[in-house]
């Protein structure tokens, strides 16, 4: 069977070339992934990060298609709260994506049920995307389109050619990226995720939901390749936060028949998202280390009256470690502190603060207080500035003789 017409941008060969900057981004991304994978995360922080990943990923990929639900609305919806009747369908759109994310994670992380990208997988994801949307989804969920369509200025391939194009698309991904050989490098995984997404956009096999299915494929390929589950939302979030550039890069790649710039654009966003994720993990590690420091300090304190001891220790545990505060602000810093000192007089609060200063848990500067986080420096690797390139080379030279 032959195509009814030619599609110059759908040659199904390597239509990209990575420059030095892309390879630098690849290396930086690998370093961040290794750091994330090798850093223990306490369950409460992991659950928070995973919740953000699911909510942000679903919000981003649906927002690109016009969904207006905020992160806060989605979080409330996930808690079982109802949305206004006029936007219930938007909630269904988001729930469908979260359900698809869960399904992918079950297959790739928990069930080890990984597979190639096939026509059946595309239809499965499309059915998930369009589930229970009725007239708010301009396609039959789980079916390829049966008519020709134009999207903006882009004339999509004829529906008569879809079977051939989808077959070639799946075969191209299989032979080019060699997933079944179990020898994929990070660069193979990342580029396959991008190519799977963009080529699906170009083929446009569905009347509606192509973008969401394409971004689900990215999520799937990255997860299948071993990327941390708390980072799988990063690309969708990047596309949404830079939406005009996302559309521009898609159109430019289609016109130039070259994916090089789109891959670089996606890599920059992915690298930056990984860095932010690692910073959040490090923040949680700092909080845990601070809590350990507080507990160690109180281990050396005579308990005396048990309730008084617990109050002072809870005060130390609840003070923010990332900001300064005045005496008057203390009851309003957070809910636990407000509850702790709701029925306590000012003299008692002042005495508690002075004792925490003596324990070197709190420092004072002028009329402001702050957690003595600098005490944690002794637990960190010692260094004096950064080694210059010349010093580093000299150091390596001395150690090779």
Judge if 135 and 74 occupy the same domain: yes
Judge if 105 and 164 occupy the same domain: yes
Domain annotation covers residue 24: yes
Half-sphere exposure in the Cβ direction for 390 (13 Å, CA): 0
First to last CA, the chain: 66
Domain count of the chain? 2
Judge if 171 and 99 occupy the same domain: yes
Q: CATH number of the domain at 46, please.
A: 1.10.3290.10
Domain limits for position 314: 301-379
How far apart CA 119 and CA 127 sit, in angstroms, is 12
User: Helix or strand or coil: residue 368?
Assistant: strand
pLDDT computed for residue 376 by the predictor: 83
Answer for the pair 213, 129: CB distance below 8 angstroms, yes or no: yes
In degrees and rounded to multiples of 5, residue 198 shows phi and psi of -70, -45
pLDDT computed for residue 385 by the predictor: 54
How far apart CA 221 and CA 108 sit, in angstroms, is 9
Judge if 194 and 332 occupy the same domain: no
Judge if 261 and 325 occupy the same domain: no
Domain annotation covers residue 159: yes
pLDDT computed for residue 383 by the predictor: 57
Residues 6+ apart with CB under 8 A from 165: 3, 7, 10, 157, 203, 205
Domain annotation covers residue 138: yes
Which strand ranges, in their side-by-side order, compose the sheet holding 325-326?
Answer: 325-326, 368-371, 362-365
Judge if 230 and 82 occupy the same domain: yes
How far apart CA 15 and CA 53 sit, in angstroms, is 31
Judge if 214 and 84 occupy the same domain: yes
pLDDT computed for residue 113 by the predictor: 78
How far apart CA 237 and CA 215 sit, in angstroms, is 10
How far apart CA 155 and CA 176 sit, in angstroms, is 27
Sign of CA dihedral 248, 249, 250, 253: positive
Q: CATH number of the domain at 374, please.
A: 1.10.10.10
> How many CB atoms neighbour CB 296 within 10 A?
9
For the chain, how many helices (H) and strands (E)?
Answer: 15, 5
Domain annotation covers residue 291: no
Judge if 212 and 347 occupy the same domain: no
Q: DSSP readout, 255-324?
A: HHT--HHHHHHHHHHHHHHHHHHHHHHHHHHHHHHHHHHHHHHHHTS---SHHHHHHHHHHHHHS-SSS-
- pTM equals 0.84
Tens of pLDDT, residue by residue, the chain (401 residues): 789 999 988 989 999 999 999 999 999 999 999 999 999 888 888 999 999 999 999 999 999 999 999 988 998 898 899 999 999 999 999 999 999 999 999 999 888 778 999 999 999 999 999 999 999 999 999 999 999 999 988 899 999 999 999 999 999 999 999 999 888 999 999 999 999 999 999 999 999 999 999 999 999 999 999 999 999 999 999 999 999 999 999 999 999 999 999 999 999 999 999 999 999 999 888 888 888 999 998 988 877 788 889 888 998 998 888 889 998 888 888 888 888 888 888 888 899 899 999 999 999 999 999 999 888 877 666 655 554 444 444 443 334 33
Judge if 226 and 113 occupy the same domain: yes
pLDDT computed for residue 388 by the predictor: 47
Judge if 88 and 128 occupy the same domain: yes
How far apart CA 238 and CA 28 sit, in angstroms, is 17
Judge if 238 and 349 occupy the same domain: no
């Amino acid at each position: 069977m032959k195509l009814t017409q030619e599609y110059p941008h759908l040659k199904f060969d390597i239509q990209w070339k990575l420059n030095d900057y892309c390879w630098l981004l690849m290396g930086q991304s690998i370093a961040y992934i290794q750091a994330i994978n090798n850093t223990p995360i306490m369950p409460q922080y992991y659950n928070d990060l995973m919740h953000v990943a699911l909510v942000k990923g679903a919000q981003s990929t649906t927002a690109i298609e016009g969904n207006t639900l905020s992160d806060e609305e989605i979080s409330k919806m996930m808690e079982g709260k109802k949305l206004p009747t006029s936007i219930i369908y938007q909630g269904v759109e988001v729930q469908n994506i979260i359900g698809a994310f869960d399904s992918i994670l079950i297959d790739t992380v928990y069930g080890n049920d990984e597979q190639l990208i096939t026509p059946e997988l595309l239809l499965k994801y499309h059915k998930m995307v369009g589930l229970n949307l009725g007239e708010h989804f301009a396609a039959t969920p789980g079916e390829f389109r049966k008519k020709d369509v134009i999207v903006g200025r882009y004339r999509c391939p004829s529906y008569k050619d879809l079977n051939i194009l989808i077959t070639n698309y799946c075969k191209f991904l299989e032979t080019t990226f060699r997933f079944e050989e179990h020898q994929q490098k990070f660069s193979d995984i990342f580029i396959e995720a991008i190519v799977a997404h963009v080529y699906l956009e170009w083929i446009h096999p569905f009347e509606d939901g192509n973008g969401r299915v394409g971004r689900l494929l990215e999520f799937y390929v990255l997860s299948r390749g071993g990327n941390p589950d708390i980072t799988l939302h990063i690309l969708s979030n990047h596309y949404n936060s830079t939406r005009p550039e996302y559309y521009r890069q898609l159109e430019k790649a289609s016109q130039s028949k070259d994916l090089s710039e789109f891959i670089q654009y996606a890599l920059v966003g992915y690298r930056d998202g990984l860095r932010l994720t690692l910073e959040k993990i490090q923040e949680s590690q700092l909080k845990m280390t601070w809590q350990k420091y507080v507990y160690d300090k109180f281990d050396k304190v005579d308990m005396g009256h048990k309730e008084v001891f617990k109050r002072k220790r809870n005060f130390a545990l609840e003070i923010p470690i990332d900001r300064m505060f005045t005496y008057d602000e203390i009851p309003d810093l957070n809910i636990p502190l407000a509850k702790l000192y709701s029925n306590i007089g000012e003299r008692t609060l002042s005495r508690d603060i002075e004792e925490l200063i003596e324990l070197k848990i709190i420092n004072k500067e002028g009329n402001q207080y702050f957690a003595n986080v600098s005490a944690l420096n002794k637990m960190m690797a010692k260094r004096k500035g950064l080694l210059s390139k010349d010093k580093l080379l000299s150091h390596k030279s001395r150690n090779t003789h």
